[in-house]
Every structure is written in structure tokens, then in C-alpha cells.
């Protein structure tokens, strides 16, 4: 039996009890978590005498109520009768690496913990209550819970809320009641067959608690339930057998995967009502179609006489039909537009919006950004709206405009702003949102006259609301969205100061199998970006971390704290955190001794979110768990991203910077992985990635005194890249540095450039950073843009590793390929190369001997290369292959 400790410092027994084993004979006398009802086994967590969570029935392999179990639980659970009257649940592991420990914390959550050898710490890999729907009976009887919808509870078909006022107030525990009595219940004869009544099928659900089971076939199971007036629902599983319910149907949860099918007995009148509803819907669709056709004809007649509007109207009509506008693709997924139901969106004309905003008078101006100006407006019916009018100079065109329409049309969440309508006429592009009377978050926390209106409890609620909004975007919505421009000015506050994330013009819709995407175009707001050439969920996590630090401190991230010697808020917080000066980080307006631990915990979470390595940052589900679980310990944060940028701007000489980066004759990167214009690597110095796996430096081939600059993994026997492979240095006087023109360069003893990154038209204010993936990046310090990086250079690599790509550009023909070396000891290029080939949308990888095909891999089917017979079983790492929307066909490895 598991029992929790009341507090981390108090090891007394707490209230939550999740026993994993019990004796059958004492089932009615003990509060046990493994409950058997005629061989139905479940795991329960109890809060004293009340059920707090349940696993769903055990089917001999998994607990059917845990949707992640099939995929995530590689260790083997076992359960059953041991022949001595004991019903047991236990698991086995194959080796020490898979060793998992389950424990019950003081919040009543059962957690699976595992030792993470790389970090030398224990991490939580699974928790029983990840979502609101995991709480037992949260929606009451005869209702289903789904975290994909808002509100999360919905009555089963044929049922209605018992108390409509409580239900609308999000108190669902009263549950639902049947709207129409079943036929045999009216006959008051339990032996009467309910010929008119039938079953409504609910797919992929966590079935209700406390079923009765019989070992019969599915057909007999259905018949038995139909003939018994007390039977309210049934389900059948090949292992468990026939399950039926005669009492209240409690704790039904809609799952995304796994689960069982549940058949709920529904009155004939409700089924007939459904048929009538279908007829109404069909009729409405037909009538609506006729109306749309007539309106379209009228619109066509109008637009025919307005040549200036033709271009954008044509694009909008194509968008309405599911096509893509005739604009060049960038970082969004235009293909998703085909699924948007524009009939749900109001289309405004320019004159109506001009009237609503008093001809866009400055007195109605709510705010302004790079996109343009936002105005307050009032429609003729009195409804207040916010009108976002895109500026022609903003750089955001029809594509970004439609991207925001696509995203917001598909999303509904209490922490996301609601889109009401849009307008495209000529060069005018406008979006209409619900009006937020308290404007944006930055108007409060950075305004000395308003910041005291947001006390700590309010700021904490805002932080949690933003986190829940991001979690919905990343994991719980119909699409998988990366916002890419999260900042204080893009968080709006409603009348009750509830946060709503806005501005989705830069958002990116992910495909189902994508985890991260490479981009050479950094978008977003400087200071909130984790500029690593890849964007993923962890990019938004970084922005969220910066936002948390701003909310707690009341300071803008972009401020320069000259007296604290830090370029940004992130740098300032990191320095003060290491020195233990926590009080100096807290906005004096919110400081309250009673909230010390809570505020400090939020700062801690913020620093975890801005860690330099994306792998180290928590996902948003973990962030919410950290925010809600005030007693669970947090891992120590590592150094934030770009903490050393301050020295790039202020470097004057190598000697002045020895505090940060030692550039003596040992190595410049015992402390740092960055090169600036005032620093250089002199043979035999090296640059080492933060994780210690990759090294950049000088080396010699075997039996040669010539020197090359290269990158190797672990040791020089696994050199993955050589810069001056065909023009080696003939002595040990070489330097690797940033040249006067801002490019990376290799200089010989006479200071002559023998290799350069050769980027044209760049500013001289550049720096270089060496990442944990072995990627060397050249950055514009002023803008943060990536100017050049190794993983996108043609014909340079010998090894393909995670994050590196084989690619070919369909427009320019430029390719990134693997090139062979003449021998393990001669790194000059040989005749063989490996590259991506795309013909008629069929992607393959070829090996070439000069211009002749030597080997091919077979077509890519989206998961494997079909010409490699062992690939499905042997390739545990994940290959990805696709068109990135910018003309590049990429093949690369994830993890």
C-alpha cells in the first residue's frame, strides 16, 4: 500500500491512499485502491474516504483509462489473482535504465519517477492527474469530460444539466439527468424488452466506475443489457468481458487514444429528435447554400465595378474556397486554410469599420505595434470591438493576415482572444476582436501608476492563465500551434483581469509528427526569442519564461541595467539568483512576506524556461504542474540563453574579457562557447560546446604537419566537419576569428584569409556561438538574425546527426550533402557524395560516384525509406522528410 507524506519536511502519513494490492476477502472492510468487481481490477487514489482518481479497468496489458499508457509504458505491468486470494498489480523492468519508481505526493498525484543519468537527477515521467478531467467525477453523473473543449463537461446525449445555474457557473458536480424516460421504465415492467430504445455509442472513452462483468460475447452483452430495465450502459472488451452499469454513470472521460467503447441506453424520442435535427440541418444547409450563392452573385457584381479591390478580393475568395493566396510561402501552413469555416466569421466592409472607429480617429487608438494600430470601435448594435488595422509598412501582408484568421478560427479557449471578423478591401486588411477594456499586460506591470493594481495573487493567476493558453496551443487544440511572438503587449486583460493571448500573425501550424522546425528567418520580438535556428514548443516556453520574470520583477526585458552590468532582464535575474539576492528581483508593489516562497518559486520556474538548451526547458504541461504543486522540488536552473551577449557588445580587448572567456594558451572555452570580434582561437586552442560533446579547433591529419580547423564529436576520430579541407595551413600559426567584414575566417601566420564564411552585405557587429548540437552559428548582434550556420552549408559534412539536414532547393538547385573523404587520415574531398533527390514529390536519398548514381535508399513514405528492409525495426531514431515551404526538401533526424 502507498501512502503520501503530508509535507516534504513532515514524513507523517497523509490523506491520500493508493494501495496497489489487497486481499479479496476483505474488500468491503478496507479502503483499497485495487478494486475487483467480478474480475474487474482498477487502481484508485482516495482522499480519506472519497475517491480522487481512478485508472480505469485493467485489461491484462494496460489500464484502459490512461490514454498515454500504451505508448509511454515500455515497462511491463502485470495484474491478477495469485491463487491465494490476493489480487496483485506490479510491474517488471528489463534493465536498470528502465527502473521506475511510483510515489504518491501530498497533492494526491501518483507520479512515476526515473533517474536521468545525464542530469544526475530524478525526473517525473508521468503523473496521474495531468488534466482537469483526471479528477474523479468532476462532471458528475451522466456527463462526459474532455480537455479538448471549453467548458470541459458536456451532458451525454438525451441528458440535460440537473441545475442549469450551477452548470453554467462551471460547477458540474451535480451532473445531468435524463431528459426522456426510457420506454420500459414507463411500462414499469423490468422484463419488457425495450424495442424502441437503443444504444448511443461513445468511442475512445474511460468507462464509468463500478461495473459488473460477465464472460459473454458482445452480442449477448448487448441483449442482456437491453432486456434489463436497470441496465443503463454496457461495454465489451476481449479480455475483461462484458461490463454493465445499473447505477449512475460516473467519471466518463473522452480520451484522444486508447480507452473503450461505451454504449449508453438512449430513449427512442431522443434518437428521433436526432433524426429530426439532421433533417433541420440538411434543410438549413441547402437554404444557406442558396443564400450564399445569391450573396456571392451580388458581391461579384459589386466587385466587378471596383478594379482596385480585385486582387485582394480574388485572394480572399480563393482562401474562402480552401485554396492558398498567390503570395510567396513563409513560416506558416497555408494548406490548413482549406479547413476553416469562414461562414462562422463576420466579414465587415471598410465603411462599416470606419464608422465604428470614427474614421480611425486617434482618440480611439488602443495601441500600436510593428503590425500597425489597434482602434476601439462600437458597432451599430452597441457592441464594442477592437479593430487591428495592418500598416502597409509593417511587412505583414495577406499571408500573415490570413494566417491569423486560420489560427483563431480554429481555436477556442478562455485564455485566447476571440476573433469576431475581418475585412479585406484593396490594400486595407483589418481584424476585429472582442474588446478588452483593460488593454494589454504591459500597460499594467510597466506603468508605475497602474502596477500596484496587480497584486501578487492577480499576477499569479495571469501567469497560470497564460500557461494554460500555451498548453492548449501546443497540446490540447485541434491544431498544434507555436505562437512565436509571446510577450507582455500580446497578452490582453479582460474586465476581470483574466489573460488572453493575442496576435497570431507569426504563429506556425505544426504537422502531427513535427517536433521542431529549422528556420533561417527569425521572427518575433528581440528579447523574447531563443535564437537557435529551430523553433518548437520550447521556443514559446522561452518567451513564457521571460514573461514570468517580467511579471514578477515589474521590469521590461529590453531595459539595460547598467549598474547591474547586465544586458537584459534575463541576465540580471540570473546574476542576482546565483548571488542569492532574491528580494532585489521582486517588484516592491507586490512584495508580501507571506508570499515569499510562491514568488521565489515563480522566479525559479521562469529561469528553468529560459535555459540555453531547449532540451532542458520544461514543456507547458510540466510548467503548469510546477505552478500548481507548491511543495514539489524544482531542478536547479542552468545558465540562460545568450547570457554572455553583454560582453559581445562591450568587448574592447581580450585581456579585459578574461573574466568571462579565458583566451590564454589553454582554451578560450573552459568558461564560454562564444567568439566575438575581439577574440580569436589560436592554434592549439579549442572552443568546446557547453555539454562538452563537441569541440572546434585545430588538428593535423595522420602523418602530416599541415593544420586544419574542424569540429569533432567526443574525439578527433569522429571529425564531422572540416573548414579548410582543401587548403590546409602549413604551420601552427593559424587563427580562427571574426574578420573585419564580420565573417568567420581562418587566418594564416601572415594574417591572410584562407577560408571565410563569405556572407555578403552584413554588418560588422557580429558574433559566433557554438551550440550543443555541434552547430556553429554567425549572428548579427543588433538584430539577433542568424547570418550563417554550419548545418545549412553545402557539401561540408561527413556525418549526419540530429538537427543537421540533407536538403535541396527546388528553385535554386543549392544542396546540403554529405561528402566522403579520401581516407580516414586525408580529409580532402573524394568522389562520393550523398544527397536528397526530389522528383514529382517523391523524395529519395542517392549516393553518387561523381555524376553516376552508386546507391539509392528507396522512396520516403513519411516514416521510413521503403528501400531499407530493416529500417522499421532498427531505426529507433526518428527521420523526418518534407518540404519546408521555402523551396527546400529536407531529410533530417529528430533525437
Give the lowest-confidence range in 404-408, 593-597, 620-624: 404-408
User: Residue 32: which of 89, 136, 83, 43 has the closest Cα?
Assistant: 43
When pLDDT is averaged across residues 21-43 and rounded to a whole number, the result is 46
Q: Could you give all domains of the chain from N- to C-terminal order, each with its CATH number?
A: 5-130 (no CATH), 143-266 (no CATH), 436-643 (1.10.510.10), 644-790 (2.90.10.10), 794-895 (no CATH)
- Classify residue 336 as left (phi > 0), alpha (psi -120 to 50) or beta: alpha
**Average model confidence (pLDDT) across the chain:** 74
Q: Identify the pLDDT of residue 236.
A: 93
DSSP output for 477-491: SSSEEE-S---GGGE
How far apart, in Å, are the Cα atoms of 46 and each of 152, 207, 731? 23, 19, 74
pLDDT 10s digits, 287-326: 878 888 888 777 776 655 444 344 444 444 444 444 433 3
Residue 848: its pLDDT value, please?
A: 81
In order, the DSSP letters of 589-618 are TT--GGGHHHHHHHHHHHHHHTBSSGGGS-
DSSP-assigned beta bridge partners for residue 102: 112
The three cell numbers of residue 655 are: 585581456
What value does the mean pLDDT take over residues 442-468? 90
Q: Is the pLDDT of residue 378 over 80?
A: yes
Residues contacting residue 569 through CB under 8 Å, at least 6 positions apart? 527, 546, 549, 550, 553, 555, 556, 557, 558, 559, 561
Find, among 468, 644, 640, 689, the residue nearest to 542 by Cα.
640
Q: Where are the beta strands (DSSP E) in 314-415?
A: 346-347, 365-369, 372-378, 384-390
Cβ–Cβ under 8 Å, residues 668 and 644: no
- Angle in degrees, 0-180, between the axes of helices 398-410 and 310-320, rounded to the nearest 10: 30
The pLDDT value given to residue 648 = 35
Task: Respond yes or no: is residue 261 known to be catalytic.
Answer: no
Average of pLDDT values for 681-686?
Answer: 80
Tell me the CA end-to-end span of the chain in Å, nearest whole number: 38
Sign of the CA dihedral 800, 801, 804, 806? positive
Nearest 10 degrees: CA dihedral of 65, 70, 71, 76?
120
Query: Residue 591 corresponds to which cell in the numbers above?
Result: 512584495
Q: Average pLDDT of 108-119?
A: 78
Q: Mean pLDDT: which of 279-283, 348-352, 407-411 is highest?
A: 348-352
Rounded Cα distance between 575 and 585, Å, is: 10
Contact call for residues 659 and 641 (beta carbons, < 8 A): no
Whether the per-residue pLDDT at 35 is higher than 80: the answer is: no
Match 470591438 to its residue by C-alpha cell: 385
- Give the whole-number percent of the chain exceeding pLDDT 70: 67
Could you tell me the sign of the dihedral formed by the alpha carbons of 437, 441, 447, 449, in that order? positive
Q: What is the pLDDT of residue 90?
A: 77
In this prediction, residue 263 has a pLDDT band, given cuts at 50, 70 and 90, of very high
Sign of the alpha-carbon dihedral angle for 882, 885, 887, 888: negative
pLDDT value at position 452?
Answer: 86
- Would you state the pLDDT for residue 667? 31
Q: Check residue 704 and give its pLDDT.
A: 73
Q: What is the pLDDT of residues 532-542, one digit of tens each?
A: 545 678 889 99
For the CA atoms of 735, 740, 741, 742, the dihedral, rounded to the nearest 10 degrees, stands at 70
In DSSP terms, which residues pair with 123 in a beta bridge? 114
Confidence check: pLDDT of 259 > 80: yes
pLDDT value at position 54? 93
Query: Average pLDDT of 1-8?
Result: 46
- As a whole number of angstroms, the distance between CA 251 and CA 53 comes to 9
Give the mean model confidence (pLDDT) for residues 808-836. Answer: 68
pLDDT at residue 16 is higher than 90: no
Give the list of residues 6+ apart from residue 613 with CB closer than 8 angstroms, or none.
638, 690, 691, 772
**What does the angle CA 78 – CA 80 – CA 83 come to, to the nearest 5 degrees?**
130
State how far the alpha carbon of 401 is from the alpha carbons of 122, 336, 755, in Å. Answer: 45, 14, 43
Question: Is the model's pLDDT at 336 over the cut of 50?
Answer: no
Instruction: Give the model's pLDDT for residue 243.
Output: 93
Lowest mean pLDDT among 376-380, 721-725, 744-748, 884-888: 884-888
State how far the Cα of 769 lies from the Cα of 320, in Å rounded to an integer. 45
User: 388 labelled as ligand-binding?
Assistant: yes
φ, ψ at 291 (rounded to 5°)? -65, -45
Question: pLDDT-based confidence at 622, cuts 50/70/90?
Answer: very high
Q: Which of 130, 485, 540, 683 is catalytic?
A: 485
233-242, 422-431, 613-622: least confident range: 422-431
DSSP line for 194-231: -SS-EEEEEEEEEPPSS-EEE---HHHHHHHHHH-TT-
| Whole-number Cα distances in Å, 705 to 699, 708, 721, 729, 877 | 9, 10, 19, 9, 39
Amino acid at each position: 500500500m502507498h501512502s503520501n507524506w503530508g509535507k516534504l519536511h513532515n514524513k507523517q502519513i497523509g490523506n491520500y491512499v493508493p494501495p496497489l494490492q489487497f486481499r479479496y476477502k476483505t474488500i468491503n472492510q478496507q479502503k483499497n485502491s485495487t478494486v475487483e468487481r467480478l474480475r474487474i481490477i482498477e487502481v484508485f487514489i482516495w482522499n480519506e474516504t472519497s475517491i480522487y482518481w481512478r485508472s480505469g479497468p485493467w485489461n491484462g496489458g494496460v489500464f484502459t483509462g490512461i490514454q498515454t499508457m500504451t505508448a509511454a509504458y515500455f515497462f511491463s505491468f502485470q495484474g491478477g489473482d495469485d491463487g491465494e486470494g490476493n489480487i496483485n498489480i506490479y510491474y517488471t523492468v528489463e534493465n536498470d535504465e528502465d527502473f521506475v519508481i511510483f510515489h504518491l505526493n501530498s497533492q494526491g498525484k501518483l507520479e512515476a519517477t526515473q533517474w536521468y543519468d545525464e542530469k544526475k537527477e530524478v525526473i517525473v515521467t508521468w503523473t496521474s492527474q495531468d488534466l482537469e478531467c483526471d479528477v474523479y467525477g468532476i462532471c458528475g453523473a451522466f456527463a462526459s469530460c474532455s480537455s479538448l473543449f471549453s467548458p470541459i463537461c458536456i451532458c451525454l446525449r438525451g441528458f440535460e444539466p440537473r441545475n442549469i445555474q450551477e452548470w453554467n457557473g462551471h460547477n458540474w458536480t451535480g451532473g445531468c439527468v435524463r431528459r426522456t424516460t426510457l420506454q420500459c421504465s414507463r411500462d414499469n415492467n423490468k422484463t419488457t424488452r425495450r424495442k424502441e430504445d437503443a444504444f448511443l455509442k461513445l468511442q475512445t472513452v474511460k468507462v464509468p466506475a463500478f461495473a459488473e462483468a460477465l464472460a459473454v460475447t458482445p452480442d449477448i452483452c448487448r441483449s442482456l443489457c437491453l432486456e434489463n430495465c436497470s441496465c443503463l450502459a454496457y461495454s465489451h472488451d476481449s479480455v475483461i468481458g462484458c461490463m454493465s452499469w445499473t447505477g449512475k454513470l460516473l467519471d466518463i472521460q473522452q480520451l484522444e487514444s486508447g480507452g473503450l467503447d461505451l454504449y449508453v441506453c438512449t430513449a427512442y424520442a431522443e434518437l428521433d429528435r436526432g433524426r429530426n435535427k439532421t433533417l433541420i440541418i440538411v434543410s438549413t444547409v441547402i437554404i444557406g447554400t442558396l443564400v450564399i450563392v445569391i450573396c456571392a452573385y451580388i458581391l461579384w457584381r459589386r466587385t466587378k465595378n471596383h478594379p482596385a479591390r480585385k486582387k485582394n478580393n480574388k485572394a480572399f475568395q480563393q482562401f474562402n474556397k480552401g485554396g492558398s493566396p498567390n503570395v510567396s510561402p513563409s513560416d506558416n501552413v497555408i494548406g490548413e486554410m482549406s479547413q476553416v469555416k469562414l461562414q462562422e466569421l463576420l466579414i465587415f466592409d471598410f465603411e462599416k469599420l470606419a464608422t465604428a472607429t470614427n474614421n480611425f480617429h486617434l482618440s480611439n487608438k488602443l495601441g500600436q505595434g510593428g503590425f500597425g494600430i489597434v482602434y476601439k470601435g462600437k458597432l451599430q448594435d452597441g457592441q464594442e470591438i477592437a479593430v487591428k488595422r495592418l500598416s502597409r509598412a509593417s511587412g505583414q501582408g495577406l499571408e500573415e493576415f490570413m494566417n491569423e484568421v486560420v489560427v483563431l478560427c480554429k481555436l477556442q479557449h478562455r485564455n485566447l482572444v476571440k476573433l469576431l471578423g475581418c475585412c479585406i478591401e484593396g490594400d486595407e486588411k483589418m481584424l476585429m476582436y472582442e474588446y478588452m477594456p483593460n488593454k494589454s499586460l504591459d500597460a499594467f506591470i510597466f506603468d508605475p501608476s497602474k502596477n500596484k493594481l496587480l497584486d501578487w495573487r492577480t499576477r499569479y493567476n495571469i501567469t497560470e492563465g497564460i500557461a494554460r493558453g500555451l498548453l492548449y496551443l501546443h497540446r490540447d487544440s485541434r491544431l498544434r500551434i507555436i505562437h512565436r511572438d509571446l510577450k507582455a503587449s500580446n497578452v490582453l486583460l479582460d474586465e476581470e483581469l483574466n489573460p488572453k493571448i493575442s496576435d497570431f500573425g507569426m504563429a506556425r501550424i505544426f504537422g502531427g509528427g513535427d517536433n521542431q522546425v529549422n528556420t533561417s528567418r527569425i521572427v518575433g520580438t528581440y528579447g523574447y526569442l531563443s535564437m537557435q535556428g529551430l523553433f518548437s514548443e520550447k521556443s514559446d516556453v522561452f518567451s513564457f519564461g521571460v514573461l514570468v520574470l517580467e511579471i514578477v520583477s515589474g521590469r521590461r526585458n529590453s531595459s539595460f541595467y547598467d549598474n547591474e552590468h547586465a544586458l537584459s532582464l534575463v541576465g540580471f535575474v540570473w546574476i542576482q539568483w546565483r548571488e542569492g539576492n532574491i528580494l532585489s528581483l521582486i517588484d516592491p508593489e507586490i512584495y508580501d512576506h507571506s508570499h515569499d516562497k510562491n514568488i521565489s518559486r515563480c522566479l525559479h520556474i521562469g529561469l528553468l524556461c529560459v535555459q540555453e538548451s531547449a532540451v532542458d526547458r520544461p514543456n507547458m504541461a510540466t510548467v503548469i504542474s510546477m505552478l500548481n504543486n507548491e511543495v514539489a522540488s524544482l531542478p536547479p536552473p542552468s545558465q540562460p540563453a545568450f547570457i554572455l551577449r553583454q560582453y559581445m557588445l562591450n568587448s574592447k580587448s581580450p585581456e579585459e574579457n578574461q573574466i568571462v572567456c579565458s583566451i590564454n594558451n589553454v582554451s578560450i572555452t573552459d568558461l564560454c562557447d562564444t567568439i566575438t570580434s575581439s577574440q580569436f582561437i589560436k592554434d592549439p586552442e579549442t572552443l568546446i560546446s557547453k555539454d562538452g560533446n563537441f569541440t572546434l579547433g585545430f588538428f593535423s591529419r595522420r602523418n602530416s604537419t599541415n593544420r586544419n580547423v574542424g569540429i569533432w564529436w567526443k574525439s578527433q576520430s569522429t571529425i564531422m566537419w572540416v573548414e579548410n579541407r582543401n587548403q590546409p595551413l602549413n604551420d601552427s600559426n593559424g587563427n580562427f576569428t571574426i574578420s573585419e567584414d564580420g565573417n568567420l575566417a581562418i587566418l594564416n601566420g601572415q594574417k591572410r584569409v584562407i577560408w571565410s564564411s563569405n556572407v555578403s552585405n552584413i554588418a560588422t557587429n557580429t558574433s559566433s556561438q557554438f551550440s550543443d548540437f555541434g552547430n556553429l552559428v554567425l549572428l548579427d548582434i543588433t538584430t539577433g538574425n542568424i547570418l550563417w550556420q554550419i548545418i545549412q552549408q553545402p557539401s561540408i559534412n561527413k556525418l549526419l546527426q540530429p538537427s543537421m539536414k540533407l536538403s535541396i532547393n527546388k528553385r535554386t538547385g543549392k544542396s546540403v550533402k554529405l561528402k566522403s573523404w579520401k581516407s580516414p587520415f586525408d580529409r580532402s574531398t573524394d568522389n562520393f557524395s550523398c544527397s536528397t533527390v526530389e522528383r514529382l514529390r517523391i523524395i529519395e536519398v542517392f549516393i553518387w560516384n561523381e555524376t553516376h548514381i552508386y546507391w539509392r535508399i528507396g522512396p520516403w513514405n513519411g516514416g521510413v525509406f521503403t528501400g531499407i528492409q530493416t529500417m522499421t525495426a532498427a531505426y529507433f531514431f526518428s527521420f523526418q522528410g518534407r518540404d519546408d515551404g521555402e523551396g527546400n526538401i529536407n531529410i533530417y533526424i529528430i533525437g
